[in-house]
């Protein structure tokens, strides 16, 4: 029975939600819900599908408990009924126009392979992406690209799309963010046109999904994406996925992880000093601003976390440079970028500084770091010091390795590679490195 009182309670709940949730959320999750029956003891809601039911319970249980009848254990006394499905219609093989338009706008025209500067940290992943773009479905499938934020994953994904659209005009290629996919799924579930969406996705030749990590803890959506992947892979249609973590580190089902690991899993790492310099110069040139090699090194030595930061720095510099009509010198950079730079901006870091800071943080002796003891307690900090030397100190590899007691330059390169890979998954190491960098940045007598 639907009492006037209970209907009012539900309306009050909706009013409360409209004030506290976003308009999209209200539209997607609350508007489609109807009160079917309400008694003093229980409220029965009609929902279009199980996703809406789960969403309400997972995200709004506390709020619901303020408005609806409660069970003895304090939980909201709710029952859900799934609305009957609409008659199935033959589905046209095209994306809903509003979705297609949105995609057009968001595909970044500057994210091309030509604009993607390569170096040891991303050479392999770039060539894998180019391989997929040249021969979709015939090389690595799926191609899974993972890496930290701002390292160029989305850039590569868009570059693949540009290439396919140019070289393989007949292929049905579609890229989407995971958030976008979920929103689309919700939209089609609500408008009871899910078959249309399934048909669209399963008829694609190439599907690219950005930021799959947003699928974690969203079990029902995961199943739909996984089914789509399986359907496409069975027909050798190309899939490209990006993520901030490797498949095995994502909180996703074993089935999903297995599908993603099926093809090639590859990662983008933080670019080394030379690549950062090349990126800075490329970006400055694109903006029509001259940046000398010396100044580019000066910036790249101090901004090393990711490419997005480098880009932020170059944008700011170019804007100031045009505004003030000034040449970009080290002094100009220090004044303009200020807090973006390490506090040691004006002082070049030497291998000696690094050895001394690493020795302090890891509690070992500088002489041990220079020596050849191979016990883990010494060898590991030594590799960290070698990594930092390559990152922060100007000079050839042979010159740098000579500062480590005359080691071969391949030893230094090996150490750098090892630490770069380990940094991807080793949070304590990231923190230790931060401590070393902070120690380096603090003036010492």
Positions touching ligand ADP (CB under 6 A) are 111, 115-117, 122, 147, 149-155, 279, 307-308, 311
Q: Which is nearer to Mg ion, 180 or 381 (CB)?
A: 180
We find the least distance from the C-beta atom of residue 116 to ligand ADP, in angstroms, to be 5
We find the least distance from the C-beta atom of residue 211 to Mg ion, in angstroms, to be 6
End-to-end Cα distance, the chain: 81
Q: Which is nearer to Mg ion, 154 or 213 (CB)?
A: 154
We find the least distance from the C-beta atom of residue 107 to ligand ADP, in angstroms, to be 13
Q: Largest Cα–Cα distance in the chain? A: 86
Residue 216 contact, options Mg ion, ligand ADP, none, Cβ 5-8 Å cut-off depending on partner type: none
Q: Which is nearer to ligand ADP, 307 or 341 (CB)?
A: 307
Asked if the peptide bond before residue 142 counts as cis, ω within 30 degrees of 0, the response is yes
We find the least distance from the C-beta atom of residue 274 to ligand ADP, in angstroms, to be 12
Residue 151 contact, options ligand ADP, Mg ion, none, Cβ 5-8 Å cut-off depending on partner type: ligand ADP
Nearest one of 127, 206, 209 to 169, comparing CA atoms: 206
3-state secondary structure of 246: coil
We find the least distance from the C-beta atom of residue 324 to Mg ion, in angstroms, to be 33
We find the least distance from the C-beta atom of residue 171 to ligand ADP, in angstroms, to be 23
Q: Which is nearer to ligand ADP, 311 or 330 (CB)?
A: 311
Q: What are the residues binding Mg ion (CB under 5 A)?
A: 153-154
Residue 200 contact, options Mg ion, ligand ADP, none, Cβ 5-8 Å cut-off depending on partner type: none
We find the least distance from the C-beta atom of residue 210 to ligand ADP, in angstroms, to be 7
Are the CB atoms for 275 and 307 separated by under 8 Å? no
**How far is the CA of 412 from the CAs of 269, 362, 386, 404, 426, in angstroms?**
17, 19, 6, 9, 20
- 42 CB-contact burial (10 Å; exposed 0-12 / middle 13-18 / buried 19+): middle
Q: How far apart, in whole angstroms, are the C-alpha atoms of residue 178 and residue 10?
A: 32
Q: Which is nearer to ligand ADP, 131 or 312 (CB)?
A: 312
Q: How far apart, in whole angstroms, are the C-alpha atoms of residue 72 and residue 414?
A: 63
Q: Which is nearer to ligand ADP, 151 or 317 (CB)?
A: 151
Residue 201 contact, options Mg ion, ligand ADP, none, Cβ 5-8 Å cut-off depending on partner type: none
We find the least distance from the C-beta atom of residue 177 to Mg ion, in angstroms, to be 8
We find the least distance from the C-beta atom of residue 266 to Mg ion, in angstroms, to be 15
We find the least distance from the C-beta atom of residue 279 to ligand ADP, in angstroms, to be 5
* Count of H-run helices and E-run strands, the chain: 20, 8
Q: Which is nearer to ligand ADP, 111 or 214 (CB)?
A: 111
Q: Which is nearer to ligand ADP, 53 or 122 (CB)?
A: 122
> Taking the CB of residue 318, how many other CB atoms lie within 10 A of it?
18
Residue-wise burial string across 257-288, b where 16 or more C-beta atoms lie within 10 A, e elsewhere: bebbebbbbbbbbbbbbebbbbbbbbbbeeee
Residue 43 contact, options Mg ion, ligand ADP, none, Cβ 5-8 Å cut-off depending on partner type: none
Residue 136 contact, options ligand ADP, Mg ion, none, Cβ 5-8 Å cut-off depending on partner type: none
Q: How far apart, in whole angstroms, are the C-alpha atoms of residue 230 and residue 360?
A: 52
3-state secondary structure of 413: helix
- E strands, 94-203, are 143-146, 173-177
Residue 149 contact, options Mg ion, ligand ADP, none, Cβ 5-8 Å cut-off depending on partner type: ligand ADP
Residue 76 contact, options ligand ADP, Mg ion, none, Cβ 5-8 Å cut-off depending on partner type: none
Q: Between β-strands 206-210 and 173-177, what pairing exists: parallel, antiparallel or unpaired? A: parallel
3-state secondary structure of 101: helix
Residue 351 contact, options ligand ADP, Mg ion, none, Cβ 5-8 Å cut-off depending on partner type: none
- E strands, 295-338, are none
Are the CB atoms for 418 and 384 separated by under 8 Å? no
Are the CB atoms for 295 and 328 separated by under 8 Å? yes
Q: Which is nearer to ligand ADP, 154 or 292 (CB)?
A: 154
Q: How far apart, in whole angstroms, are the C-alpha atoms of residue 410 and residue 282?
A: 29
Residue 385 contact, options ligand ADP, Mg ion, none, Cβ 5-8 Å cut-off depending on partner type: none
Q: Which is nearer to ligand ADP, 118 or 195 (CB)?
A: 118
Which residue number is nearest to ligand ADP in terms of Cβ? 152
């Amino acid at each position: 029975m639907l009492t006037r009182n209970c209907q009012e309670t539900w309306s009050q709940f909706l009013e409360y939600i409209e004030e506290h949730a976003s308009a999209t959320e209200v539209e997607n999750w609350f508007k489609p819900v109807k009160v079917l029956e309400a008694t003093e003891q229980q409220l029965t809601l009609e929902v279009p599908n199980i996703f809406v039911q789960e969403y309400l319970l997972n995200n709004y249980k506390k709020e619901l408990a303020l408005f609806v009848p409660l069970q003895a254990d304090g939980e909201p006394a709710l029952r859900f009924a799934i609305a009957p499905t609409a008659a199935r219609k033959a589905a046209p093989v095209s994306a809903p126009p509003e979705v297609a338009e949105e995609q057009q706008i968001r595909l970044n025209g500057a994210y091309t392979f030509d604009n993607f500067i390569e170096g040891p940290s991303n050479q392999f992943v770039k060539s894998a992406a180019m391989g997929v773009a040249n021969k979709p479905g015939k090389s690595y499938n799926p191609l899974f690209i993972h890496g930290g934020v701002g390292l160029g994953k989305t850039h590569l994904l868009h570059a693949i799309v540009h290439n396919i659209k140019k070289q393989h005009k007949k292929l049905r290629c579609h890229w989407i963010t995971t958030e976008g996919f979920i929103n689309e799924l919700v939209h089609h579930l609500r408008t009871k046109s899910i078959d249309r969406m399934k048909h669209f996705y399963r008829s694609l030749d190439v599907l690219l999904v950005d930021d799959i990590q947003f699928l974690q803890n969203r079990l029902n959506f995961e199943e739909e994406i996984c089914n789509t992947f399986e359907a496409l892979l069975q027909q050798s249609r190309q899939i490209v996925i990006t993520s901030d973590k490797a498949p095995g580190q994502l909180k996703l089902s074993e089935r999903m992880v297995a599908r993603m690991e099926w093809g090639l899993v590859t990662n983008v790492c933080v670019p080394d000093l030379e690549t950062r310099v090349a990126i800075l110069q490329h970006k400055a040139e694109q903006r029509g601003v001259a940046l000398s090699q010396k100044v580019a090194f000066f910036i790249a030595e101090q901004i090393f976390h990711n490419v997005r930061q480098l880009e932020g720095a170059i944008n700011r510099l170019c804007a100031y440079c045009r505004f003030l009509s000034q040449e970009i010198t080290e002094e100009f950079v220090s004044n303009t970028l200020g807090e973006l730079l390490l506090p040691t901006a004006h002082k070049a870091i030497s291998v000696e500084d690094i050895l001394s800071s690493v020795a302090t943080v890891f509690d070992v002796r500088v002489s041990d770091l220079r020596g050849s003891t191979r016990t883990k307690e010494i060898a590991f900090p030594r590799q960290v010091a070698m990594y930092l030397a390559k990152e922060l100190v100007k000079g050839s590899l042979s010159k740098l390795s000579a500062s480590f007691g005359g080691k071969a330059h391949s030893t230094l390169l090996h150490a750098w590679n090892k630490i770069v890979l380990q940094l991807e998954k080793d949070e304590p190491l990231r923190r230790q490195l931060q401590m070393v960098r902070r120690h380096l940045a603090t003036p010492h007598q």
